Amino acid sequence: MYIYRMEQELKSEITKQHIIHEAFKLFYEKGFKSTSINEVMKAAKMSKGAFYHHYKSKHQLGLEVIELKIKKRVYDGMIVPLKGPGNAIEILENTFLNRIKSFPFYEKQHGCPMNKFINEIGNYESSYQLALKNIIEKWKKALVILIEIGKNQNDIKKEIPSEAVAVYLISAFEGIRGIRKLYDNDSILDQYISGLSVYLNQLKA
């Protein structure tokens, strides 16, 4: 009985992960509001009944997509690298530049998933707003910690306002992800990279 229950729980979790994966792709490409539950389940090759077996509503699914897909992307791509060894300025430069260079053409066309969610539903529902804000706050906190370390190690000017720099770096990165969608080549990204290098050099002690 115990083994059977474990197998059912594993099967249920795999099914949920599959639904979340397909939902994320559709929300990213079409938008959250424009995507129906029917479309998600068609993409997942499952019935609508299967959806309601695992989720109470599209709202609940949206929260899980934010938590398990968008948050993980930001954590893996933009927060974990900040915790590596080395000079704070070099870590900042490598983190932001490596990430911007790593995006495939598909993501350059569609922009940043988190940014799209923020623009579409950031003020649509308080629970979405809180979930998205939580990701930004964790990212900002990780940046502030690194900047403070840089100050203590005399790599970054001590008078630099850490939170302001963190917010600026996040905003510039998210902004260029959206702007890139308007172009058919990476020239605008090259200009962003040059501008970022100039800005980070100005932070050096």
Instruction: Pick the more confident residue, 119 or 144.
Output: 144
Q: What is the DSSP string of 20-83?
A: HHHHHHHHHHH-TTT--HHHHHHHHT--HHHHHHH-S-HHHHHHHHIIIIIHHHHIIIIIGGGG
Kindly state whether residues 17 and 118 are assigned to the same domain. Answer: no
Global pTM value: 0.90
Kindly state whether residues 109 and 156 are assigned to the same domain. Answer: yes
Angle, vertex CA 174, rays to CA 36 and CA 155, nearest 5: 150
DSSP state for residue 104 in the 8-state scheme: -
Total domain count, the chain: 2
Q: Beta partners for 204?
A: 156
Q: Is the pLDDT of residue 60 over 80?
A: yes
Q: Quickly state the pLDDT bin for 9 (edges 50, 70, 90).
A: low
Q: Quickly state the pLDDT bin for 2 (edges 50, 70, 90).
A: low
Q: CATH code at 153? A: 1.10.357.10
CA distances to 9, 14, 50, 69, 140 from 5, in Å:
6, 14, 18, 27, 41
Kindly state whether residues 72 and 111 are assigned to the same domain. Answer: yes
Kindly state whether residues 52 and 62 are assigned to the same domain. Answer: no
SS3 content of the chain, % helix, strand, coil (to 5): 80, 0, 20
Instruction: Pick the more confident residue, 123 or 32.
Output: 32
Kindly state whether residues 177 and 103 are assigned to the same domain. Answer: yes
Q: Is the pLDDT of residue 8 over 80?
A: no
User: What distance in Å separates the CA atoms of residue 61 and residue 36, rounded to the nearest whole number?
Assistant: 11
Kindly state whether residues 131 and 52 are assigned to the same domain. Answer: no
Kindly state whether residues 88 and 173 are assigned to the same domain. Answer: yes
Mean pLDDT (whole number) for 150-154: 95
Instruction: Pick the more confident residue, 122 or 200.
Output: 200
User: What distance in Å separates the CA atoms of residue 106 and residue 151, rounded to the nearest whole number?
Assistant: 38
Mean pLDDT (whole number) for 81-106: 92
User: What distance in Å separates the CA atoms of residue 64 and residue 23, rounded to the nearest whole number?
Assistant: 10
Cα atoms found within 13 Å of the Cα of residue 181, Cβ hemisphere only = 14
Q: Is the pLDDT of residue 176 over 60?
A: yes
Q: What is the pLDDT of residue 1?
A: 62
